[in-house]
Amino acid sequence: MFAPVVYNSMSVNIIIKLVLLYNHGLIQREGGSMEQEMGELRRYRTQSISRGEFALSDSFYFYIKGLESIVDDQVTQRFSSEELVSWNLLTRTNHNFHYISLRLTIIWGLGVIIRYCVLFPLRITLAIIGLTWLVIGTTLVGFLPNNRLKNWLSELVHLMCYRICARGLSATIQYHNKENKPQKGGICVANHTSPIDIVILANDGCYAMVGQSHGGLMGVIQRSMVRSCPHVWFERSEMRDRNAVTSRLRAHVAAKTNLPILIFPEGTCINNTSVMMFKKGSFEIGGTIYPVAIKYDPRFGDAFWNSAKYNMVNYLLRMMTSWAIVVNVWYLPPMTRREGEDAAQFANRVKSAIAHQGGLLDMAWDGSLKRAKVKEEFKEQQQKMYSSMVMGKKGRNSQEPHTESTRRQ
């Protein structure tokens, strides 16, 4: 008779706790290991968890994790714009701010006129000038023979055009620790928030871009750029061949006169509150890694690109009708792979350094969960951890991150 009463009491307490947390819009995760949290759930039992016995109360641990994921998923919230505490007179924060008072509504209306009728025409003009000069300038430089003069002119044209485009976004950029700027023959890795990350970084130095070849207007720009500078563009079929990509990047890094390669290892845009898992491919190439932390100020404009919600044209329209793009860039000391350290461990070490410097949350989750389901190995990892605990095996790493296998799809 005692056991059903205990389990019913535990169920009610857990459900009440989660309902209260949901109503307050907050989930307080304990942050302990699976063994510690299950031990708390077993507090009504006399058996110790170290004895490796199964307890029905263990199921509540997985219920809690599942409900936490539904109420406040740690991953999907990284792919939506950051909500501001106060209104910045942009409609993209909280619509309720529009109706606080008539005065604020009038100010907001005046802001719309200024942003769309004054700032936007000037910004679009600057952007057109910058892109046009980029195509013309790089094409002309491409006709010159390969020598120091061509390299110098190429860097001059790229810097000039990117700075004009940055003015078209009203970008206010502050660079820190310039003594750590990426050097030629190296690899620059940074957290990724927006396609304009390239413009932000290229305002202070030239980089070799890496990406897939495109058609249309983007293809015209890519073909003109590669004539004057050794950018690395891949065909769609090449992008699927990991060995081909790695070999071309290694060949680029081997030439110490080539510009540093700019890579965003997350592989997708994150909302600038966190840094998600770095793909290890960038860290298998070899050479020196130059980490860079980028942090945007959301009070003046939301730089995050939600590609699932806005196409590129709509996104650029939102950028050019913001008040400004304010951003801080930190150059971190160069890092190399340690002896006995594999590519994944090296990638995590670089990611942690970037997150710490930029004041971002360091997350172990893969950004590809934005469009894909949780990998089976994540689920199997939790199953193995619980199995080893029930079977009485020791030595399991209690610091491994919890998986949200019941994440809302």
Domain limits, the chain: 2-75+372-390, 95-364
Name every residue whose Cβ is closer than 8 Å to that of residue 256 and which is 6 or more positions away in sequence: 184, 185
Question: What residues have CB less than 8 Å from 54, skipping those under 6 apart?
Answer: 390
Percent of residues, the chain, with pLDDT higher than 70: 66
- Tell me if the pTM is above 0.85: no
pLDDT greater at residue 197 or residue 97: 197
CA 362 to chain centre: 10
Which long-range contacts (C-beta less than 8 Å, at least 24 apart) are formed by 349-356?
350/189, 350/278, 350/283, 350/289, 350/291, 351/265, 351/275, 351/277, 351/278, 353/291, 354/189, 354/190, 354/191, 354/275, 354/291, 354/292, 354/293, 355/191, 355/274, 355/275, 355/293
> What's the whole-number mean pLDDT along residues 262-275?
88
Query: What is the helix (H) or strand (E) element at residue 112, kind and residue range?
Result: helix 102-113
Per the CB < 8 A criterion, the answer to whether 256 and 166 are in contact is no
Q: Name the residue with higher pLDDT: 52 or 219.
A: 219
Among 12-16, 169-173, 280-284, 367-371, the least confident range: 12-16
Mean pLDDT, rounded, for 242-261: 83
Structure confidence at residue 331 (pLDDT): 97
Query: Rounded to an integer, what distance in angstroms lies between the CA atom of residue 266 and that of residue 289?
Result: 15
Supply the pLDDT for residue 146: 85
22-26, 33-37, 145-149: least confident range: 22-26
- The set of residues, in sequence order, having a beta carbon less than 8 Å from that of 243 and lying 6+ positions away, is none
Q: Which residues of 173-193 are buried (b: 16+ CB within 10 A; e: fewer)?
A: bebeeeeebbeebbbbbbbbb
Q: Which of 10-14, 257-261, 276-280, 299-303 has the lowest mean pLDDT?
A: 10-14
Average of per-residue pLDDT values in the chain = 77
Q: Measured at the alpha carbon of residue 44, what is the angle toward residues 43 and 47, in degrees to the nearest 5?
A: 75
Q: How confident is the model at residue 6 (pLDDT cuts 50, 70, 90)?
A: very low
Q: Look up residue 262 and give its amino acid.
A: L
Residue carrying structure tokens 């005065």: 103
pLDDT tens for 197-212 read: 999 999 998 998 887 7
pLDDT in tens, 133-158: 999 999 999 888 888 898 899 999 99
- Give the pairing type, strands 289-296 and 325-331: antiparallel
The residue type found at 118 is V
Whether the predicted pLDDT of 162 surpasses 90: yes
| 72 class by beta-carbon count within 10 Å (0-12 exposed, 13-18 middle, 19+ buried) | middle
Tokens standing for 121? 């025409």
Indicate the pairing of strand 361-362 with strand 274-275.
parallel
Count how many residues are written for the chain.
409
Q: Is 244 exposed, middle or buried (0-12, 13-18, 19+ CB in 10 A)?
A: middle
Taking only the tens place, the pLDDT of each residue in 304-358 is: 888 778 888 888 888 898 889 999 999 999 999 988 899 989 999 999 999 999 9
Q: Which residues are CB-neighbours of 178 under 8 A, at least 6 positions away?
A: 204, 331
Structure confidence by residue, pLDDT tens digits, 254-268: 888 888 999 999 888
In this prediction, residue 226 carries a pLDDT of: 83
The mean per-residue pLDDT over the stretch 55-68 comes to 66
For residue 256, the model assigns a pLDDT of 81
In the chain, the amino acid numbered 244 is: A
**pLDDT for the residue numbered 272:** 86
Output DSSP code: residue 180: G
Asked whether the beta carbons of 202 and 158 are under 8 A apart, the reply is yes
- Which has more pLDDT, 29 or 260? 260
Indicate the range of 26-35, 67-76, 363-372 predicted with least confidence: 26-35
| Rounded percentage of the chain residues whose pLDDT exceeds 90 | 28
